[in-house]
Amino acid sequence: MRTALRRLVQGLLVLALIPFLLDVPAGADASAESLLATGAAPNATVVSVEGRRTVVATAGRSSDPALVLIHGFGGSTFGWRHVMEPLAASGWYVVALDLPGFGLAEKGWGGAYDHASHARFVLAVMDQMQIKQAVLAGHSMGGNVVSWIAALAPERVRGLALIDAAIGASFGDSPATSALQAPPLRRAARILIRSAFTEATFGELLSSAFAVKSAATPEMIRGYAAASRLPEWDAALLGVLRDGSKNALTQPIAQIVSRAGAPIPTLILWGSEDSWVPITAGESLRDALPAATYVVLPGIGHVPFEEDPAAFIAALEDWLAR
């Protein structure tokens, strides 16, 4: 019995030590500044907000009303590169930023990546840029983040544009994500992610979100994949998974939008062929928010501003004008 117990302990120690005997694959050592040209929207800069580095891109005059664009899972300011200048030309000060853990923003295991923390970070960016109130447009996961902003600080929200939005989405809180708290298992997961990830596999994943497959160009794939060239990007991805169970809104979206005294004007904009957050989710959101403007873009998938920028701009500008 003692021999068996000793061997079991020895085996567990070996399993715990193996990840530390292997090196995390190299190749992620670029700086955010060096990646701005390929992995961010035009006119983007690296800034520090509350001690955390991120990227902010702007278009238009700061004296115009503000429109803040919030990306989805795996997104960044890069995704908005085709639409910022046209939206600014219609009279808006357009601001896009990388949420902590995404794009060219600071990475690492220790950050807070739940959507409430993301919402507070966006508000801190707005404070630093002296933006008192803005229309907030959130895509996919970003739709939940802007909903959190409206819940936390409704007086800062002039309007909400929910684009193929994953409202109330939570994930995680499973034995697998809980196991990531153990350093050996977390290191093993990082080795697996770094070893499996290639630009080609990332391109296949990204293309699966599109109904217009021709939109997934090599240049676009490189832009989204730029985040994987930053140190600790894989640790940040694990942190996002770790915090995913905290993302659900604490009140219904209808209650958030029906702000006391002045309901928040809302746009629900969806691609009819969205395979990631299907049109049925958009219809449910429309039913929950009957006063919202509801627009469906035919033949478009999950990422309308990439698949048909002109149609996306026209739909958003029409709502903004009203």
Tokens describing residue 261:
């005294």
The rounded mean pLDDT for the chain is 90
- Beta strands at 93-97 and 52-59: parallel, antiparallel or unpaired: antiparallel
> Sheet containing 66-70: which strands, arranged edge to edge?
44-49, 52-59, 93-97, 66-70, 134-139, 157-163, 266-271, 293-297
**pLDDT for 223-272, tens place per residue?**
999 999 999 999 999 999 999 999 999 999 999 999 877 899 999 999 99
Average pLDDT score over residue span 178-196: 86
The pLDDT assigned to 318 comes to 98
Q: What is the pTM of this model?
A: 0.90
Average pLDDT score over residue span 283-303: 98
Distance in angstroms (rounded) separating the CA atoms of residues 282 and 36: 33
**Domains defined for the chain, CATH in brackets:** 42-321 (3.40.50.1820)
**pLDDT grade, residue 14 (50/70/90)?**
very low
Q: How many residues belong to the chain?
A: 322
Contact 159, 264 (CB under 8 A): yes
Half-sphere exposure of 93 (CA within 13 A, CB side): 14
Tokens describing residue 17:
């030590």
